Amino acid sequence: MTVLITDTPPPDVDMSAEPYDVLFPKDVGMAPSWLMTHTCKELSAAAKPGLLLHALAHGAEAVIFTDPDAVVLAPMPDVDEQVSRRSLTISPHFLGPVDADDATGRFIEDRVVEAGAYNGGLIGATGSDEAIAFLRWWMSMMEVGCRHRLSDAQHFDQRWLEMVRSFVVNWARFTDPGLNVSFWRIPGWESPTEDGRMSIDARACRHLHFSGFVPEYPDSMVQYFPDLLSLDQVPGLEPAYRQYGAALEREGRAVWRSAPYGFGHFEDGAPVPDAGRHVYAEMGAGRERFGDPFRSGPRSFQAYLDAPGDNGQPAITREWIEAHRRSEHLATAFPDPLGRDRAAFHAWTQTDNARQSRVTPYILF
């Protein structure tokens, strides 16, 4: 087993003592520019093709990737066999239509339409020419195209997976409903047997994906919809979620969550704002003039971001101009940020609310 940690090496932890191989972003081809263009959540999603390519380049004939927020509940020898026969094997959210009278199912269906037909939580790959070509293309798209921006039809890494159908001839879907089980499989969920075994559409649940679940919302499957996707809607599933949350706490979740993100700050300790990452990503080759994107000081990217975006007064920095461009809330509150609303917008950028909005507080696990 190989684990990719999308962060800097944790201090005082001997990675060689872990029962698996440990990789970091540089090991899978992620240059410093990648680390600047992505938020913590985005980097975790963007790393998938690089990790698969690394494994295939280092001797693996076939690779199965699983998201870190998933557990394997039973052996999957048939999955190994299926993956080994195909160039790529990907996991659909749905395996059939949703009942038109199922309100919860229709709500989930709408979310899936936004996020994409396939989920990146379970992926199989071999070293065929077409698989390698697709993974390299997918990785090239991830450098600046791994965003959660539904208005632009982007949901992290997932929408790109739909291109497998066009780019790869020898591809397949995971069709066992007991694989990559999460809230999108609620419509097919069945009550557990007397011995506690879970099943979906008459197939055993073997790979359970806790997508969107965090212990802070213990009664909900997904933190984003706490009132709509509650665990009491799914008979027998609540114990598995409780056990998963307890396991996270036993393994030191509180400690690791409080640790600073290694790629979240400039050299002088100032936080890297989300808007700044977008500015850097859209500069293309022009960003090369800054060298190390995390450097502080004159002629650094940080200095560029903190400089006024125009000659008006009071000064509005490039960071806040970009933040306004990407925020419907700010666009509504300050329709003309560099004109008649300039003073009000500048005053807002100095508030605690503005400072707290600079970095999205993602809860990864």
Residues 311, 250: one domain? no
Residues 283, 231: one domain? no
Asked if residue 261 is part of any domain, the answer here is no
Domain boundary among 207, 227, 255: 255
Domain boundary among 255, 287, 311: 255
pLDDT higher at 356 or 137? 137
Task: From residue 104, give the alpha-carbon distance in Å to each of 117, 185, 345.
Answer: 18, 11, 40
End-to-end CA distance of the chain: 20
pLDDT recorded at residue 265:
95
CA distance 192 to 73: 14
Q: With contact defined as beta carbons under 8 Å apart, do 39 and 360 qualify?
A: yes
Q: Residue 121 belongs to what H/E stretch?
A: strand 118-126
Residue 301: pLDDT band (50, 70, 90) is very high
Q: Can you tell me whether residue 197 is helix, strand or coil?
A: coil
Asked if residue 226 is part of any domain, the answer here is yes
Task: Quickly list H helices, the chain.
Answer: 32-37, 40-46, 48-57, 77-85, 103-115, 129-145, 158-161, 164-167, 238-250, 253-258, 274-282, 301-306, 318-325, 328-333, 342-349, 352-357
Residues 35, 88: one domain? yes
The least confident of 65-69, 183-187, 300-304 is 183-187
CA distance 345 to 325: 13
Q: Which residues pair with 181 in a beta bridge?
A: 208
The domain tally of the chain equals: 2
Residues 139, 193: one domain? yes
Is residue 38 over pLDDT 80? yes
**Which residues constitute the domain of residue 78?**
2-255
pLDDT digits (tens, 9 = 90+) for 161-218: 999 999 999 999 999 999 999 988 888 787 777 677 788 877 889 999 999 998 888 8
Asked if residue 265 is part of any domain, the answer here is no
Give the single-character DSSP code of 97.
P
Cis check: omega of the bond before 308, within 30 degrees of 0: no
Residues 190, 248: one domain? yes
Q: With contact defined as beta carbons under 8 Å apart, do 208 and 227 qualify?
A: no
Burial class (CB in 10 A: 0-12, 13-18, 19+), 84: middle
The least confident of 61-70, 114-123, 143-152, 307-316 is 143-152
When the pLDDT of each residue in the chain is averaged and rounded to a whole number, the result is 91
pLDDT higher at 193 or 73? 73
Over range 39-68, report the average pLDDT.
95
Residues 284, 236: one domain? no
pLDDT recorded at residue 363:
47
Asked if residue 269 is part of any domain, the answer here is no
Residues 224, 314: one domain? no
Over range 5-33, report the average pLDDT.
90
Asked if residue 268 is part of any domain, the answer here is no
pLDDT digits (tens, 9 = 90+) for 131-171: 999 999 999 999 988 988 777 778 899 999 999 999 999 99
pLDDT digits (tens, 9 = 90+) for 108-142: 888 888 888 999 999 999 999 999 999 999 999 99
Give the single-character DSSP code of 233.
G
Is residue 361 over pLDDT 70? no
Burial class (CB in 10 A: 0-12, 13-18, 19+), 318: middle
> At 173, which amino acid appears?
R
Q: Which residues pair with 65 in a beta bridge?
A: 123
Asked if residue 263 is part of any domain, the answer here is no
CA distance 64 to 88: 10
Asked if residue 364 is part of any domain, the answer here is no
Give the single-character DSSP code of 65.
E
Residues 278, 249: one domain? no
Residues 144, 218: one domain? yes
Residues 353, 231: one domain? no
Residues 124, 234: one domain? yes
Residues 236, 334: one domain? no
CA distance 1 to 20: 5
The reply to whether the predicted model has a pTM over 0.85 is yes
Residue closest to 57 by CA, chosen among 124, 126, 152, 109: 126
Residue 365: pLDDT band (50, 70, 90) is very low
Asked if residue 267 is part of any domain, the answer here is no
Domain boundary among 255, 284, 311: 255
Over range 6-17, report the average pLDDT.
85
